[in-house]
Every structure is written in structure tokens, then in C-alpha cells.
């Protein structure tokens, strides 16, 4: 078997793309999207019609509502291809507004349900700020499953699990980027700080019986993926899916619940003060969280501009 097929024995493979053709090529179980991926997709001729239709059919609703409809249109098309779930992201500009994030999550689910798509097939992506975690706690109680994104640290992961989040997406590649820049070291294999972070989170969850799923994200190379074989899910770009599919090198399981439960791990007790202090104490997590929110906000603004140009033309 190629490495992609080997990986699928241990881990649920998720496509990290807005490109429908890539999903069809690699047959993932789930798919994830974000503002950057959708912005990239709608600038291609193959997908621009989705943008134009959303803008034309809902031109009186305002750019924010039209973007929501665009995100759901992409999600609906993706769900025709994959058997599992699609993740749709809330506006990163709401990352520090609990009430607005709750409202956005409800609105996105309502649009999906109006399109005949059950909420069980949707994950609402929310930034792993304290405010985002509190929003997820409310949405989860309402049966709206959440994917906690922009996650770079164990305290964020613990807060998400305590809130009952369905899934978290720790960003392996962005953690690697920070440490590479800070130290000048090209980390590989098990020494990669991003890999180590996901392994710590996975072990903590399995040690203490948290049901929240762990989905490694934001990969820079296949070595990071290979080291996390056995993680609940991994969301992988088409480029790296292609490399895995092209390699027949052996892959072994690196993460398991049994191995995690055998580890000595101290539990972490969090309230808001402890969460903020521990996050602040981690320079990498603090900087990458802030940077990630800024980047997603910038792409959301660009999407708004594309919609605005079509509705005023």
C-alpha cells in the first residue's frame, strides 16, 4: 500500500482544501475549509460561479450574509463528494466576541439545514480564544458540533475539552515555523515541536478520558504526518496527500490510546485567569494565535470586497 492508504488504517484522513477535484482524487472522510482556502478557490474559474451565484441571489442581504451563503454553498458541494463532515469557519473578526460567535454558528447551521443538510455533518470552526471556547460550550449544548481552530498549546486544548468541543485542530506547521525562525533549526521527525505539541495533547486527552477528537493540521511536510499516524484525524493539503499517495515507504502507528494512558501526566485545572496566564506565558502560542486571527481577518475582508464588487456592479 502507498503511505496514504497505510495512514488511513490508523487515522481518519481529512482534506484541507476548497478544491473539489482534489477531494475526489484522494477520497478523504472529511474536509475542512477556512477563509483563506475559500478566497483562493473563488479566484479560480472552476469555482467563481459559486461566488457569483451567492452575490446575485442575495445581493440585498449585505456582504456578511452573502459570505455566509458562499461558505455554505462550498460546504454543500463538498458534502456531495465526501461521506463525512465538513468544517465551516466563523468570521475571525468575532474571535473575542462570545455572543456574536454563538449567533454566527447558529446562523451557519440554519443555512445548512435550510439546504437539507443535517447538522451532524457540519463542524463550526471557532478560534481557540477564551471567548471562542465559551461560545463552543453553548453551541455544543445545542447540538452544534465545533472544531476549535488556531490552537497552539495544551492549555487551549484543555479548555476546549473542558467545554465539550467535538474536535480540535492543533496547527503543527505553524508551531514548527515559529521554532524554526526562533532557533534556526530545521526540525525533523519526532524532534519537530509541532509534532511534539500534538502528541502531548493527544496523550492528555486519552489519559484523562476526554472525548474531544484531535485533528492535526497545518502540515509543512510528510514527515510531520508520518510521526502523527494514529492521531484521531489529520487534515492534509492536496500537495501532501499527493506525496503520500506517491510513496510506498512503510508507515507505522505512532500514537495510541493505550500508550497515552501509560504515561505519567498531571491534570490541568483551568479558569479564565489560569487560561490567560498560561497562554501568555507561551510566547509561541500567543504570537501564532494573534497572527492567525489577523491573517484570517485579512482574507475575510478580501472576500467581503469580492462580494461587494459583484453586488454594486
Farthest CA pair distance, the chain: 62
> In Å, what is the CA distance from 129 to each residue of 120, 205, 231, 269?
24, 19, 23, 17
Q: Which of 125, 199, 254, 288 is catalytic?
A: 125
Q: What gap in Å lies between CA 24 and CA 203, rounded to an integer?
A: 33
Q: Where are the beta strands (DSSP E) in 120-273?
A: 122-127, 146-151, 167-170, 213-216, 233-236
Q: What gap in Å lies between CA 108 and CA 72, rounded to an integer?
A: 7
Catalytic-residue membership of 53: no
Angle at 292 between CA 289 and CA 297, to 5 degrees: 125
> In Å, what is the CA distance from 152 to each residue of 40, 43, 61, 94, 148?
24, 30, 36, 19, 11
Q: Which residues are catalytic?
A: 125
Amino acid at each position: 500500500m502507498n503511505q496514504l492508504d497505510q495512514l488511513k488504517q490508523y487515522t481518519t484522513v481529512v482534506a484541507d482544501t476548497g478544491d473539489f477535484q482534489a477531494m475526489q482524487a484522494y477520497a478523504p472522510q472529511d474536509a475542512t475549509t477556512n477563509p483563506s482556502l475559500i478566497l483562493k478557490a473563488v479566484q479560480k474559474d472552476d469555482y467563481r460561479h459559486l461566488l457569483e451565484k451567492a452575490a446575485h441571489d442575495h445581493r440585498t442581504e449585505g456582504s456578511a450574509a452573502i459570505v455566509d451563503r458562499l461558505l455554505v454553498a462550498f460546504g454543500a458541494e463538498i458534502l456531495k463528494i465526501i461521506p463525512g463532515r465538513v468544517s465551516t469557519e466563523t468570521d475571525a473578526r468575532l474571535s473575542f466576541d462570545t455572543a456574536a460567535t454563538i449567533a454566527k454558528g447558529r446562523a451557519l447551521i440554519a443555512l445548512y439545514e435550510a439546504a437539507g443538510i443535517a447538522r451532524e455533518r457540519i463542524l463550526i470552526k471557532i478560534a481557540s480564544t477564551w471567548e471562542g471556547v465559551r461560545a463552543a460550550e453553548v453551541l455544543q449544548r445545542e447540538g452544534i458540533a465545533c472544531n476549535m481552530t488556531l490552537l497552539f498549546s495544551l492549555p487551549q486544548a484543555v479548555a476546549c475539552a473542558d467545554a465539550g468541543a467535538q474536535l480540535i485542530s492543533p496547527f503543527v506547521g505553524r508551531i514548527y515555523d515559529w521554532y524554526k525562525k526562533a532557533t534556526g533549526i530545521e526540525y525533523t521527525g519526532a524532534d519537530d515541536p509541532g509534532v511534539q505539541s500534538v502528541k502531548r495533547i493527544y496523550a492528555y486527552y486519552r489519559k484523562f478520558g476526554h472525548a474531544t477528537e484531535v485533528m492535526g493540521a497545518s502540515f509543512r511536510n510528510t514527515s510531520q504526518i508520518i510521526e502523527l499516524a494514529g492521531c484521531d484525524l489529520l487534515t492534509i493539503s492536496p500537495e501532501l496527500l499527493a506525496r503520500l499517495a506517491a510513496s510506498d515507504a512503510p508507515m507505522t502507528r505512532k500514537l495510541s490510546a493505550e500508550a497515552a494512558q501509560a504515561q505519567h501526566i498531571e491534570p490541568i485545572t483551568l479558569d479564565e485567569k489560569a487560561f490567560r496566564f498560561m497562554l501568555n506565558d507561551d510566547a509561541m502560542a500567543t504570537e501564532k494565535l494573534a497572527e492567525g486571527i489577523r491573517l484570517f481577518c485579512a482574507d475575510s475582508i478580501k472576500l467581503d470586497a469580492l462580494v461587494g464588487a459583484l453586488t454594486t456592479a
